[in-house]
Amino acid sequence: MTEHLPDESSHLVQEPQFYETLVTQSQDGIIIIDDDGVVQFANPAARQMFAGRAHRLVGFHLGTPAIDEPVEMVLPGGTSALEVEMRATEIEWAGSKATLATLRDISLLKQTVSNLHKRIMELECLMSLGEFAADTSLDERAILTRTAELLPSAMKHRQSAVVKIAWEDSLYQAGSTAQARFTLRVPLESAEKNRGFIEVGYTEMHPETDEGPFQAEEHKFLLAVAARLVSILEHKSVMSELEFHSRLINAVGESVIATEPDGKIVFWNQGAVSTYGWRANEVMGRNIMDVTVPENARSSAGKIMQSVNQWGRWSGEFTVKRKSGERFPAIVSNEPIYSNEGKPIAVIGVSRDVSTRQQEARERETLMLAIEQVPEAILITNHGGIISFANSAFLRLTDNTLENLAGQHYKVLELAADKPGFVGLCDKLDQPALWKGSITSVNDRGTNHDNEAIISPVHNSRGQLIGHVAAIRDVSVEASLTRQLHHAQKLEAVGQLAGGVAHDFNNMLGLILGNAEIALDQLNQDDVIFQDIRQIIEAADRAANITRQLLAFARKQNISPRTVDLKESVVAISNMLARLIGEHISLTMRTDSATWPVYMDPVQLDQILANLVINARDAIEGEGRIEVSTGNASIDEAYTLGRPDVEPGDYTVLSVTDNGVGMEKSILSNIFEPFFTTKATGKGSGLGLSTVYGIVKQNSGFIDVESEPGRGTTFSIFLPRYESHTPAATIKPREIALPTGDETILVVEDLPDLLKLARRYLIKLGYKVLATTLPEEAFEIVAGHDVDLLLVDVLLPQMTGPVLYQKLQQRDPTLRCVYMSGYSADALAQDDVSIQDIHFLEKPFTLQRLANKVREALERGR
């Protein structure tokens, strides 16, 4: 302003009009007040300021200004209060002290500052609201409470402002609006729904000149606050809902993953963390393809994503991978989310690891297959006795289907007359404790089978009975095998007993026979007792024959096995066999030229054939037919399953078939027992088939019998095939002449009677005989004599015959030997003596057999 003032030296300032103009034209009010406080001068601006307040300013008792610096004053009254800044200076006026006061209207400035201040407060208030929105720790209640506390400070008259906020059914207050003289209420609305209000009140009157107690700005501000508050509360509600959903989604076991349509991961729940091994912060923003899809499955995964985006939901099983790289099958369900415009904005993928479920399913399937396929019949019922499962074996044995049985009470299994099933099974299916035992089943042909059954109650983890399981096993084969075993054991025991008796009996027979022969030798045929003694010899011969058969059955027969051509042997004996059976029965020989050889004593082969043919003959009443055949058979493992006595391998088969009366099954199991016979008393000894049995067993063979009453019988003898380069022998005709000699023979036998008998036989045959009962003496005798042959009992008290021979042979290697024994060659085999080089003389022996054996031994040595 000074810039525009004319220079003080100019003539203008000299003019009184200049000052008058300044004072009258001044925008500031200028007044002069005397010491009594009365206005003495007022310029137009001052008069304007007090217009309506003081009737006439000059002369008005305004008061003496008492200020030492500019002071803001309020000029009340009028249409609205006027705010002025007053300055005061002491002057002289008309010779007295007075005060020059200037007044500048600052209403507009004050209003502006006040408005600015208010805007700042409002801004602060709104900013605070923004902070509430961002503060996740604040819930709806806290936000409303704080807003109510905050709002008065943003009001124009903050000191007297009170606030009440109503939201839904709750009230939040700062001060009490009930005491407010003036209130202003704005609604809280969302989506045109009224949810409450904000009410502001002033407890004091603040008259505003034109707008009443609340200014338009305050109203606008409150509307803004209301809108913002609703927005914040809704956001909070949405956020808390989102948080709730997020927690919910995290709580589910399934993996929930959200991606943008291009596969970018935007959500990854806790289930996904557990399933895939990636934490959410590791995968956010990455492509789902890189994270969960194995490389070789990406093209099909891409097609799925395409199809989801294009067509909507896709679900199915898919192989995915974990962070570790491990692959696993998952059930995946993908569903797109669309914008309001129908554009896909995201894909929600829910997946579940089914590897465990698949594993469990596989295990369960294996278990079911196992139960289904076990040979045992399995039946499962529940607590009420309702059938829940029966396996194939059970269904087969009861001629049922699972469809018919499942859901039925087990009483439907009660055995019906015309149906196969189990006898008494139903009585066992409600027992509280484990039951084990035998149950008979009846098959569709009415045949009974033996079964072993275990019926067990089934309890759950709490120990409650929930049903029964029955496991039933057909043991008819085992039962049959057991019966066979018992039978074999019985035959074995009988054989041992018979063998033992026969051995002792043989020695006695030997004495009877020997002494009778010596006595007969000293008699003329005319003597009275000659025929008597001859009958003694014949009877003793028959008795010896019986004991031989018993020994054969007991497999203690002395044998001289060799390679035998079965077909030739059969042909050779056919004439003798034809004589045995008589003319009314035809005998056919059918031999296979390729029949394998066997290794056995030919005498035993004769015994087998003779006994079987006699047996066949006796089975034929009147005319009939017998066929003897030879052939080969290869026995495999399958055949031996039901025959524990049979070894698999190649066998030579000798069969004797008749068309006689045949046998019942009950008889078949006993036919090999000694003295068992169905023949009339006196017609058979009961030892024929026992002899065959013993011989076949001794030669590691077996017998198969097929017989049917009225249709005849076939005995098939299976003898192990013998593979040897030595040519097979056929049976040679027996030597009849009594061979003699003059060589020196040493006899060692512990039984003095037998020793004496042998000595007398040998002397009779022309030999020089040295004899002793003690093996030790044999050494002395040999030392003093030139002994050609040793005739020695196999079993001696001090040392065995073979040991004695071995020791004597060390002194005289040319010494020959013949063993005497009531037992077979088994005893010698145990002493590792070569069986084939040794000559046996079976006790009891006749003079003929002794002569033959001794001569044979001496000749072989030459």
Partner 1 sequence: MTWKFRLYIAGMTPIANRAITNIKRICDQHLPDDYDLTVIDLNKQPSLAETDQIVAIPTLLRMRPEPRRKVIGDLSDTQKVITGLQIQS
In the complex, the residues that contact partner 1 under the rule CB under 8 A are: 35-37, 50, 53-54, 60-69, 71-77, 81, 86, 88, 99, 204-207
CB of 237 to partner 1, least distance (A): 42
CB 406 within 8 A of CB 387: yes
CB of 71 to partner 1, least distance (A): 5
Instruction: Report how far residue 445's alpha carbon sits from residue 424's, in angstroms, rounded to the nearest whole number.
Output: 19
CB 688 within 8 A of CB 639: no
Instruction: Report how far residue 172's alpha carbon sits from residue 653's, in angstroms, rounded to the nearest whole number.
Output: 115
Nearer to partner 1, 205 or 763 (CB): 205
Instruction: Report how far residue 411's alpha carbon sits from residue 422's, in angstroms, rounded to the nearest whole number.
Output: 12
Nearer to partner 1, 181 or 364 (CB): 181
CB of 73 to partner 1, least distance (A): 5
CB 468 within 8 A of CB 380: yes
Nearer to partner 1, 98 or 748 (CB): 98
Nearer to partner 1, 195 or 206 (CB): 206
Nearer to partner 1, 111 or 634 (CB): 111
DSSP letter string, 653-668 = EEEEEE-S----HHHH
Nearer to partner 1, 75 or 815 (CB): 75
Q: Where are the beta strands (DSSP E) in 365-447?
A: 377-382, 387-390, 421-422, 435-442
Nearer to partner 1, 82 or 850 (CB): 82
Q: What is the largest CA-CA distance in the chain?
A: 222
**b/e code 807-845 from CB counts within 10 Å (16+ = b):** ebeeeeeebbbbbbbbbbbebbeeeebeeeebbbbbbbb
Nearer to partner 1, 70 or 861 (CB): 70
Nearer to partner 1, 86 or 374 (CB): 86
CB 553 within 8 A of CB 674: yes
Q: Which of 367, 412, 366 is nearest to 387 (CA)?
A: 412
Q: Which of 524, 624, 47, 721 is nearest to 39 (CA)?
A: 47
- Joined together, the tokens standing for residue 717 give 């003898």
CB of 52 to partner 1, least distance (A): 9
Q: Which of 599, 856, 606 is nearest to 728 (CA)?
A: 599
CB of 65 to partner 1, least distance (A): 5
The radius of gyration of the chain's CA atoms, rounded to the nearest angstrom, is 67
Element (H, E) at 615: helix 602-619
- Joined together, the tokens standing for residue 699 give 């030669």
CB 654 within 8 A of CB 717: yes
Nearer to partner 1, 84 or 833 (CB): 84
Nearer to partner 1, 36 or 262 (CB): 36
DSSP letter string, 330-352 = EEEEEEEEE-TTS-EEEEEEEEE
CB of 200 to partner 1, least distance (A): 18
Nearer to partner 1, 72 or 399 (CB): 72
Instruction: Report how far residue 413's alpha carbon sits from residue 419's, in angstroms, rounded to the nearest whole number.
Output: 10
Instruction: Report how far residue 500's alpha carbon sits from residue 131's, in angstroms, rounded to the nearest whole number.
Output: 117
CB of 59 to partner 1, least distance (A): 12
Torsion angle, CA of 490/493/497/499, rounded to 10 degrees?
A: 100
Nearer to partner 1, 64 or 309 (CB): 64
Nearer to partner 1, 33 or 581 (CB): 33
CB of 45 to partner 1, least distance (A): 15
CB of 178 to partner 1, least distance (A): 20
CB of 109 to partner 1, least distance (A): 15
Nearer to partner 1, 96 or 401 (CB): 96
Instruction: Report how far residue 478's alpha carbon sits from residue 548's, in angstroms, rounded to the nearest whole number.
Output: 35
Indicate the pairing of strand 816-821 with strand 789-793.
Answer: parallel
**Half-sphere exposure of residue 280: CA atoms within 13 angstroms, side-chain side:** 13
- Within 10 angstroms of residue 621's Cβ, the number of other Cβ atoms is 8
Instruction: Report how far residue 399's alpha carbon sits from residue 445's, in angstroms, rounded to the nearest whole number.
Output: 12
Instruction: Report how far residue 352's alpha carbon sits from residue 738's, in angstroms, rounded to the nearest whole number.
Output: 103
Instruction: Report how far residue 398's alpha carbon sits from residue 417's, in angstroms, rounded to the nearest whole number.
Output: 12
Instruction: Report how far residue 587's alpha carbon sits from residue 658's, in angstroms, rounded to the nearest whole number.
Output: 9
Nearer to partner 1, 50 or 805 (CB): 50
CA 132, distance to chain mean position in Å, is 59
CB of 74 to partner 1, least distance (A): 4
